[in-house]
Amino acid sequence: MPDLIVIGGGAIGLSVAWRAAQRGAAVAVADPHPGGGASHVAAGMLAPVSEAQLGEPELLALGIASWRRYPEFIAELESLAGFGTGYARCGSLMVARDADDLALLDRELRVRQQMRLQVERITAAACRELEPSLAPSIRAGMFAADDHSVDPRRLLRALLAACTASGVVLLPERARLVIDDRVRGVMIRGTRYDATSVVIAAGAETGRVEGLPEHLRGLVRPVKGQILRLAQAEPTLLRHIIRGAEGYIVPRADGEVVVGATVEERGFDEQITAGAVHQLLRHACELVPDAAELRFVEVSAGLRPGTRDNAPLIGRTDVDGLLMAAGHHRNGILLAPVTADSVSALATGDAPPVEAAAFSPLRFGGRSMVSA
């Protein structure tokens, strides 16, 4: 009998399962397509500095705590998996093309200075020294040297390998929660799997998990994102993450170039639209004209898991034995290490990292508050 069953096999669920197994727990992961979902579509930016928002100090602290864990997290994964994850200490360059962009750049710079984050405003010449392929129209930039990136698809393959090596059982099926006075386990195709604890890590599908109590179903909503993957014959076009007013470009050492991403409140719609492809390509070519010469590889759509405050749900619910690791919105890849440490600690009777305290699912109330 497993001690812990994780429902959801994306970056968050697999990371939780791996860390829990390392703590000595018997763990199973239930997901019809492990290694898929929004994690498979993500760009893989590890950028708490360039994505910081004023008024979200707890989320910033959580992101930095997870970012600091990444080098060891990646080293362990790559050692177990025997292959790389595309982890790169590349930095982010936010650029401005016109007067409106310059005003936005200066606002973003002031926000980060108020939060005492390490960023630098640089001239147009300095931008092109960092990235010679930038458009001549670039007028200034803000450089965040500490932003990193990882290839989410390689990361997922490494997490699957690490889980297998650590004894995690993969159940490639949908699971239904079994709850009476507390969580008892899950049902999969008529077979009951008992467990002491169950973790909901089902991303945007959280509200669709069968057996989930009604008051927990509405905590997570899908937020659509469309994203492009291009390729260059030799990876020389870009060396850093490039961020403009309407999106970003993420280069990889193997020549892949990721362009993203739309943010659309369209429910569970995953249709690819011509308008989104046009928007993303236009913005990429405005920032880096030579992007027009890259080979078009893929366009995909994923569903980010958003919450009412767009911050994650990490920790115990008001149902005994039921935990959540969901609602990470745009930060699932970044927050995987700290979420895994937090939830695996709670599931095995230890104290979680202090940075996770603000993200309890109980902040939205329990059954009594909902029924009232």
Contact, 320 vs 366, CB < 8 A?
A: no
Cβ-proximal residues to 302 (8 Å cutoff; 6+ apart), any chain? 37, 38, 40, 41, 42, 224, 225, 227, 270
Distance linking the first and last C-alpha atoms of the chain: 37
What the block records as the tokens of 342 is: 């937090």
Q: pLDDT tens digit string along 164-210?
A: 999 999 999 999 999 999 999 999 999 999 999 999 999 999 999 99
Kindly report the backbone phi and psi dihedral angles of residue 64, in degrees, each rounded to the nearest multiple of 5, phi listed first: -70, -40
Cα–Cα dist 217/354, whole Å: 26
Residue 203 host element (H or E): none
Per-residue pLDDT band at 69 (split at 50, 70, 90): very high
What average pLDDT is seen over the chain? 95
Per-residue pLDDT band at 368 (split at 50, 70, 90): very low
Q: What pLDDT sits at residue 370?
A: 36
Q: How far is CA 184 from the centre of its chain?
A: 29
Per-residue pLDDT band at 158 (split at 50, 70, 90): very high
Region 118-133: what's the mean pLDDT?
97
Q: pLDDT tens digit string along 293-347?
A: 999 999 999 999 999 999 999 999 999 999 999 999 999 999 999 999 999 999 9
Per-residue pLDDT band at 14 (split at 50, 70, 90): very high
Looking at beta carbons, which pairs linking 231-235 to residues 24 or more positions away fall under 8 Å?
231/255, 231/256, 231/257, 231/294, 231/295, 231/297, 232/257, 232/294, 232/295, 233/295
Per-residue pLDDT band at 372 (split at 50, 70, 90): very low
Q: pLDDT tens digit string along 70-99?
A: 999 999 999 999 999 999 999 999 999 999
Question: Pick from 211, 178, 215: which is nearest to 197 by CA?
Answer: 178
Contact, 151 vs 83, CB < 8 A?
A: no
pLDDT over 80 at 371, yes or no: no
Q: What pLDDT sits at residue 2?
A: 87
